[in-house]
Amino acid sequence: MNKHELLPQLRILLVEDDEHDRIAFNRSLRSSKIDCDITECVRACDALDLIRADASRFDLVVVDHHLPGLFGIDFCRTMIGELIGLPLIMLTGSGSEAVAVEALKAGVDDYIIKDPECAYLHMLPRILSDTVSAYRERLARRDAEKALIDSQERLAAIVAGLTIPTFVIDAEHTVTHWNEACQKITGVPSREVIGTKEQWRAFYPSERPVMADMIMAPARELSMARYYGEKCLRSTVLGDAFEAEDFFPHFGESGKWIFFTAAPLKDSSGRIIGAIETLQDVTNRKRAEEALRASECRHRELSITDALTGLYNSRHFFNRAAEEIERCNRYNTPLAMILLDVDNFKRYNDTYGHLEGDHVLAGLADVIRREIRGADSAYRYGGEEFIVIFPETEPDEARIVAERLRQEFSTTIFAPLPGEEARTSISIGGGSYLSGEGLTPFIKRVDEAMYRAKNRGKNRVVFV
């Protein structure tokens, strides 16, 4: 039985003004095995009224960032400021990672980015269940840590019964408790560490302090910074606690991402008598985040790429060209550009068909990729026209590359019909950027140079 089946009915307050997103949210949960009851609000102020009236009606609040009247992040800050004890998940649009980070800093439990491919809907049920489970376990852990200060026997009973991997050390850094869940996640039996100061063996290849050790150090912030750097933060639940997230390659078959927290244990007079550390496997969340980032990268790449040739498209050309011109004017560096056009392309299409014409364009793109430098960039400008930008390049250098492109393409053999070979050629116009010149006049000069090459017999290079 997994932890989702152990959860009772999940009572969700969804604060979302987009009807399509609300429908998708409901459909995603209905198709999962999670028993849930969803209350919907389209305005943050209405949701706050419901929560203030009776927060116990809900187990979880899911709020979209873009809401009428009050933004989702402000809604969350209001709830956290009023100490309303409900887990919060922020929904943000694709590309809103900064909002998500701000939400986490404000105390939101988790965030979900609504990617264009709607992959987030597949992860939604698990994230909601995991968040509620983690929140409930976190509350249980906080209550347990406060209640166990004066009773070692009670501490032992609770630690042993926790489903959260947990271990405890005393003031001398000796392990006093190492529960079954901790044995499972680390692979280290309790009998090998209880009564020793070798807790490090479960986590690191050589001796070094773990977070529970550092929590009792006089200069614990310096120790945390030394060993964990920016990975370590003060806990948002307990002021004296710290938390971090790291990858442990020897956990399981292929390693695990672990979120771990450590808090001091104090007696009734406030004296530190030990420390408790808890672990949480967050590997699935990390992998989901990585998959989402990869999906967004693919989406961004597709949006600037020509599908036929694999080169950048004309929209990206104008953005990139404007950037290069700005850099050229700022640093007074040379900039060259060439425009290539396939000769007699309409006749080739009429003779062999558009599919074979596409093969010619793809073949020209391959030649361009092979012949230009990594710093240069090539674009399908439109139809059978291509543009190449040469940053920090003198016109004579660009002319050499253009001539090489012309010669290489003229020797490329195509097979439009069985047993028949065909060749074609390109005309190339090029030019060097003039200081203070706009992008449109620059392109126009290069275009005119290309037409001069056409008028002079084609299959040649003309620079202006």
Low-confidence ranges of the chain (pLDDT < 70): 1-7, 94-96, 144-154, 156-157, 160-161, 295-302
Q: Are strands 385-391 and 242-248 parallel, antiparallel or unpaired?
A: unpaired
C-alpha span between 102 and 367 (Å, rounded): 46
Query: What is the Cβ-side half-sphere exposure of residue 92, based on CA atoms within 13 angstroms?
Result: 19
pLDDT at 452: 96
Alpha-carbon distance of 168 to 181, in angstroms, equals 13
Q: What is the pLDDT of residue 137?
A: 85
> Residue 4 has what pLDDT?
43
Cβ proximity of 432 and 395 under 8 Å: yes
CA distance 178 to 194: 7
CA 196-199-203 angle, to 5 degrees, is: 155
What's the confidence (pLDDT) of residue 2?
Answer: 47
User: What domains appear along the chain, each with residue ranges and CATH number?
Assistant: 3-133 (3.40.50.2300), 148-285 (3.30.450.20), 304-463 (3.30.70.270)
Report how far residue 88's alpha carbon sits from residue 99's, in angstroms, rounded to the nearest whole number. 14
Per-residue pLDDT reduced to its tens digit, 172-186: 999 999 999 999 899
Residue range 353-384, pLDDT digits in tens:
999 999 999 999 999 999 999 899 999 998 99
Give the pLDDT confidence score for residue 3 in this predicted structure: 45
pTM of the model: 0.43
Q: How far apart are CA 50 and CA 67, in angstroms?
A: 17
23: exposed, middle or buried (Cβ count in 10 Å: 0-12, 13-18, 19+): exposed
Structure tokens at 150: 């004066």
Q: What is the pLDDT of residue 415?
A: 92
Task: Please choose, from the candidates 382, 412, 410, the residue with its C-alpha nearest in 3D space to the C-alpha of residue 308.
Answer: 382
Query: Helices 97-106 and 72-81 meet at what angle, rounded to 10?
Result: 10
Give tens-digit pLDDT for 98-140: 777 888 888 888 888 888 888 888 888 888 988 888 888 888 8
Please report, in angstroms and rounded to a whole number, the separation of the first and last CA atoms in the chain. 74
Token code pair at residue 195: 């009564």
3-state SS, one letter per residue, for the chain: CCHHHHCCCEEEEEECCCHHHHHHHHHHHHCCCCCEEEEEECCHHHHHHHHHHCHHHCCEEEEECCCCCCCHHHHHHHHHHCCCCCCEEEEEECCCHHHHHHHHHHCCCEEEEECCCCCHHHHHHHHHHHHHHHHHHHHHHHHHHHHCCCCHHHHHHHHHHCCCCEEEEECCCCEEEECHHHHHHHCCCHHHCCCCCCHHHHCCCCCCCCHHHHCCCCCHHHHHHHHHHHHCEECCCCCCCEEEEEEECCCCCCCEEEEEEEEEEECCCCCEEEEEEEEEECHHHHHHHHHHHHHHHHHHHHHCECCCCCCECHHHHHHHHHHHHHHHHHHCCCEEEEEEEECCHHHHHHHHCHHHHHHHHHHHHHHHHHHCCCCCEEEEEECCEEEEEEECCCHHHHHHHHHHHHHHHHCCCEEEECCEEECCCEEEEEEECCCCCCHHHHHHHHHHHHHHHHHCCCCCEEEC
> Which pair of structure tokens corresponds to residue 78?
């209001």
Residue 206 exposed, middle or buried by CB count within 10 Å (0-12, 13-18, 19+): exposed
Q: What is the pLDDT, as a whole number, of residue 123?
A: 86
Mean per-residue pLDDT over the chain, rounded: 87
What is the rounded radius of gyration, in angstroms, for the C-alpha atoms of the chain?
32
pLDDT at 53: 92
pLDDT of 405 reads: 96
**Cross-strand partners of 60:** 12
pLDDT for residue 143: 74
